Structure 1
């Protein structure tokens, strides 16, 4: 199976991205509904296979792109895959979203026996490397493909447990820093893997939400590692990172502005117009149609209205705009809802001029 340009578009996603980067006219704003396990229900591919079988991973992505023509394909290893490569356990239900089992890092003394993930040899990461190879061969000339590497703080929460990690920030901060160093080096190895296949990098760090940790914690425990990773990814791949942050992030915009970003994707609770005018002076903005109230439960008219409203606000971003959902759409979202989202993106941003 090979990717083909979507018949409703004048440009392929690769052509559109290049036009934007070169300051040329483009047919519409890039549009990326975050779909995650929705792809399983849509394709009939099981959750386990979607995360473990490289052929099934590639098949799912290609079938979803064939239907919707979104502007990016994103595969793992994600937070989950890297955590598993470091020894964590996850539960993969027959339907629904996988979730963490018992935390791996029950005692920080365990760090002494742990090494960063080597993406060249780790069997868990090699699953995603094979999927990357298949997708770049089938779709790389049509649509950008990115490898998600999660976020360092969220990975730490998956290894230690969220509540314990938050407590440890006060009780044993040096051990937290050692954990973050191990994780960051593991992520850098995954970036090396992505660069080998010509992929870009995506990141999402939901536990680093400043509504949960606060801006001071973000500055000390999140910013240095995320800056290191975004700089490294740009150096290794030649492509800037797509970063998603959950929650109301206004208090950390000064940090987000310093990353090498293809876009900063914002939660639907963020005022997109404010973000476009403020943060959009420094980095491209993405967002932020409500994934539940609008994408899952909304009418077709409500989806179209939300898309038009987001484009109207987002296009004010000086550094550029991508239409996205505010987070992953629920896996039970009807495919027709995504059709409306993409059709509206084409309708409300046709023939764009810079």
Structure 2
């Protein structure tokens, strides 16, 4: 079988075509302190400056060895774009959303007419262009964004879960709004050079809200994003936190190409619960990748690969203190695997 570039290899895996071996990628956040020290681009500045963001993303490839580059490193830029209050991150911690801006239908209307050339949304797109100009012919350029359901929660606050159950009109209106934004943002990332899209929708879980609400408030909106990306020949990976085992078959009905599962999901069961989507994951980022030895990580990685996982990767975002050698142990197993 022919050998492929990393860009070709990942694209072929996500679109169900044969390849020479497993790609070594991470679809969730990649930044670590060791990478920051090696490349000179540190959080929190690397969350706000396109050059520094691109430099730290590049370190995932040049320092660690991932066969892709990916931005951004957090999931708060979208909420910040719409005026939510953000708690600043540190060199070791990501920023978080602490204030919300939508309570009524009128509030939703007031957020319309936004300009994607503003704020950190634009910084992420500029970073993608920097990376694409340098690596676009060889490496996958992953753009990532928070999904529409979790963005709705960021914008509305903890009232969101009650809202979808008691005020359907408001809930659907907010989902339409966030999804329209997601599609526009994703298209801008692709225009700047992204060739793979990752949706991080941590609270959009059938386990959390039940299948009925998931079908109504999540599936149609994920499908709109997938359809828009597939029109541009861009594959989509979806990550939802928690034990998504029972919801996997429902999750893939949106047409997503890959589903990233976390450490609470049994890898073999996940593979058996989908028909078409590639299962990605699912090494524990804390108890395994951060706190175990490279030898233990290789052993667990092999178990996950043997379970039939499509892409070996962390089960959630990489912990900032994760040692480089631990990530490289996972990468070694991935690169050695022939499908």
TM over 0.5: yes
1:173-252 residue pairs with structure 2 within 5 A? 173-199=168-194, 200-235=196-231, 237-252=232-247
How many pairs does the alignment contain? Answer: 331
Q: Give the match's secondary structure for 2:137.
A: coil
Cα deviation for residue 145 of structure 1 reads 0.7
Residues in 2 aligned to 1:159 and 1:105: alpha-carbon distance in whole angstroms: 6
Contact 2:148 2:179 in 1 (8 A): yes
Residues in 2 aligned to 1:35 and 1:257: alpha-carbon distance in whole angstroms: 18
Cα deviation for residue 174 of structure 1 reads 1.1
Give the alignment partner of residue 274 of structure 1, picking from 269, 277, 281.
Answer: 269
Give the alignment partner of residue 164 of structure 1, picking from 159, 167, 192.
Answer: 159
Residues in 1 aligned to 2:330 and 2:179: alpha-carbon distance in whole angstroms: 35
Cα deviation for residue 24 of structure 1 reads 4.2
Residues in 2 aligned to 1:346 and 1:112: alpha-carbon distance in whole angstroms: 49
CA separation of 1:177 and 1:107: change in aligned 2, threshold 3 A:
same
TM-score of the pair, normalised by structure 1:
0.86
Cα deviation for residue 173 of structure 1 reads 2.0
Larger mean Cα displacement after TM superposition, 80-89 or 255-264: 255-264
Cα deviation for residue 107 of structure 1 reads 4.3
Matched, 1:330 2:319: yes
TM-score of the pair, normalised by structure 2:
0.90
CA separation of 1:243 and 1:31: change in aligned 2, threshold 3 A:
same
Cα deviation, 1:76-102, whole Å, max 9, x if unaligned, reads 396422222112121223231211121
Q: Give the match's secondary structure for 2:257.
A: strand
Runs of 4+ aligned structure 1 residues displaced above 4 Å come to 18-22
Matched, 1:255 2:244: no
Matched, 1:147 2:109: no
Contact 1:14 1:141 in 2 (8 A): yes
CA separation of 1:330 and 1:77: change in aligned 2, threshold 3 A:
closer
Contact 2:34 2:323 in 1 (8 A): no
State the Cα RMSD in Å. 2.2
1:49-198 residue pairs with structure 2 within 5 A? 49-76=45-72, 79-95=75-91, 96-115=93-112, 117-119=114-116, 121-161=117-157, 163-198=158-193
Residues in 2 aligned to 1:195 and 1:157: alpha-carbon distance in whole angstroms: 25
Residues in 2 aligned to 1:221 and 1:39: alpha-carbon distance in whole angstroms: 34
Matched, 1:38 2:31: yes
Give the alignment partner of residue 291 of structure 1, picking from 285, 289, 297.
Answer: 285
Identify the residue that residue 4 of structure 1 maps to in structure 2.
Answer: none
CA separation of 1:184 and 1:18: change in aligned 2, threshold 3 A:
closer
Cα deviation, 1:159-215, whole Å, max 9, x if unaligned, reads 111x21111122222112111111111111112212212312110111112222121
Cα deviation for residue 11 of structure 1 reads 5.1
Cα deviation for residue 22 of structure 1 reads 7.8
Contact 2:87 2:96 in 1 (8 A): yes
Unaligned residue ranges in structure 1 (runs of 5+):
1-9, 316-320
Q: Give the match's secondary structure for 1:47.
A: coil
